[in-house]
Structure 1
Amino acid sequence: MRKHLLTLLILVSGWQVHAQTEGAVIINNSKESAGRPGGIAYNRELSAGGRLTTAGWGAFADYTKRVNMDKKRTMYFEVMFLKHPKELKKVNEYNFAFSFDSPKPFVYAKQNSFFSTRFGYGNKFLIGEKAEKSGFEISFNYILGPSLGLVKPYYLEILYEQDGNIFSVPQQYAPETASLFLDASSIYGYSGFSKGLSEVSVLPGAFAKAGLSFDWAAFDEYIKSIETGIGAELYLQDVPIMILENNKPYFVFLYLSLQLGKKW
């Protein structure tokens, strides 16, 4: 009876170890792997994070699969809000308010908001690691692929006076309304993000980025890393963000991102 129980315990323990390490490669410090820290290198990763750039901010998600001990392949999706370098927010001060709503900040001479959706594919290469409790590694990675730009009209609350009464009307830029739209003293504020969503137009383009990733939990099943690097995005025509400034068909930016996720 004891022999059967012992056999059963061994089988259960073996199954648990297999379940925990399925899809993972165990690295040890044997002669065959001399110079490589000990731990577990997982075969797949799914993560998401936020990114700050010199041209805006956004969020991303990626799926990564290990090719070998020093290389991984990545599929990537990102949504970014991009701004013109000359954008400047301001607030007009008035001695009255509509429905107790104070004047809202707005960007002067802005005609469109711009968002970028990116779909990419790339590789990540291990360039250094250190054996600690959870492992630490530095990787170089690059991503490139198509992007789809979303151009949304930028609406402002423009002040009008009629029969001694002052009221505001949400309005987008047009050549026939340029005199009011560009008169800072007649602007009560930004109309809000939802205004203009039904009028979005698209611009096709492409993007690429490259950077260094620092993972301070390389042997853990959870991803905790930061990344810094440089990126660029190019469209088929000038991106119409500002009215009085030069608009260009490209963005070049530095970025810093925080990434969290799961390995298996």
Structure 2
Amino acid sequence: MYKSFVIGLLLFLGLTTGVSAQGEEQSREFTWGINWNTNGGIIGGASIRSSRPVPDKEKWQQFWGLEIVEVKHPKENRLLGLDGDVFVLGKTNYLFVARPEYGRDYTLFRKAPESGVQVNAVVGVGPSLGLLVPYYISYDYTEYRNGVQVGPTDIRVERYDPITQHREFENIRGSAGFLTGANETDVNLGAHLRTALSFEHGRYQENIVGVETGFLFEAFNKKLIMLPAAENYKVFTSVYLTVYWGRRK
């Protein structure tokens, strides 16, 4: 059933590409955004979006977009390592998600030509690529006896294994950073659906500044393991806020 859903979704996206290619070339919009969401950190991620009117439908626009966010486990526990660097206790993978998307906007309230606020209802759908990047730490294997070092300094950057290898979290000096394990990324296929309201303000017709707030539902083909000792999920939901800006031509 899941495979059929994904195949149907991809066929739908292909058909919408053909529709978009037949659309009018006027009033294109291009925007950039910064995202905050209930599954992310201080800044959840970033997005880009290209929009144009739907032919013969005055209040409708269609868009293509791409959003990239980091998803954090709700039970992450951040600690300070020996070097003063922060690490997440028991974490084995980062999760980044890339979301190519096709969607449509419907204008609920149109702004005046020179100023005002325009309110749009937004719906978007597309595949999700869940990128599990191994979590690496800097671990201190140096031998001590009665608090005195008795061997050479032995600090190694290794993939974090909190269950069988790195049980003594007091010896963790800090996180090695997500780029350390980037070449071991595990790609997982999923799909997402968003519904939102956007509030757009611009003093001039060619400038775009606004916020979009809404709900996102996302599902993957298997559980994505971030914290082995906690419950992990293959279905995620979040509430988000995106601040965006751009231009219309």
TM-score bracket for the superposition, by shorter chain length = 0.7 to 0.9
Contact in 2 for aligned 1:52/1:58 (Cα 8 Å):
yes
C-alpha displacement at 1:254, in angstroms?
0.5
Q: Could you tell me the TM-score, scaled by structure 1's length?
A: 0.76
The reply on whether 1:238 has 2:223 as its aligned counterpart is: yes
**Aligned pairs (5 A) from 1:1-264:** 43-56=27-40, 57-67=44-54, 68-92=57-81, 94=82, 102-131=83-112, 133-162=114-143, 163-174=150-161, 178-217=163-202, 220-264=205-249
| Counterpart Cα distance in 2 of 1:164 and 1:74 | 62
Partners of 1:144 and 1:165 lie apart in 2 by 56
Aligned partner letter, 1:121: Y
Deviation by residue 1:190-226 (Cα, 9 ceiling, x = unmatched):
0122211111110000011111100112852011011
Q: State the alpha-carbon separation in 1 of the partners of residues 244 and 93 from structure 2.
A: 30
Q: Is the 8 A contact 1:142 1:209 kept in 2?
A: yes
What secondary structure does 1:249 align onto? Answer: strand
**1:3 paired residue number:** none
- The runs of 5 or more residues in structure 2 that have no matched partner are 1-23, 144-149
Would the aligned equivalents of 2:138 and 2:156 in 1 still touch at CA under 8 Å?
A: yes
Amino acid at match of 1:150: L
Deviation at 1:179, TM superposition (A): 4.1
> Residue 130 of structure 1: CA displacement?
4.4
Q: Partners of 1:250 and 1:191 in 2: how far apart?
A: 28
Point out the more displaced range, 66-75 or 199-208.
66-75
Q: Distance in 2 between matches of 1:229 and 1:149?
A: 21
Q: Are the aligned partners of 1:52 and 1:255 in contact in 2 as well (CA < 8 Å)?
A: yes
Say which SS state the counterpart of residue 233 (structure 2) adopts.
Answer: coil
Identity of aligned residues (%): 29
SS at match of 1:194: helix
**3-state DSSP of counterpart to 2:45:** strand
Residue 75 of structure 1: how far off its partner (Å): 0.8
2:224 and 2:167 map into 1 onto residues whose CA distance is 20
Per-residue CA shift, 1:63-116, capped at 9, x if unaligned?
A: 111123211011111111111111121103x5xxxxxxx331000000000111
Gaps of 5+ in 1: 1-21, 25-42, 95-101
What do you get for the CA RMSD once the two structures are aligned? 1.9
The 2-side partners of 1:189 and 1:173 are apart by 11
SS of 1:110 mapped into structure 2: coil
How many residues of Structure 1 are paired with residues of Structure 2 in the alignment?
215
Give the whole-Å Cα distance in 2 for the aligned partners of 1:117 and 1:213.
21
Highest Rg: 1 or 2? Answer: 1
Q: How far has the Cα of 1:183 moved from its partner?
A: 2.2
- For normalisation by structure 2, the TM-score amounts to 0.81
* Residue in structure 2 matched with residue 37 of structure 1 by the alignment: none
Question: What CA distance in whole angstroms lies between the structure 2 residues aligned with 1:156 and 1:54?
Answer: 26
- Checking the alignment, whether the CA contact within 8 Å between 2:32 and 2:47 is kept in structure 1 is yes
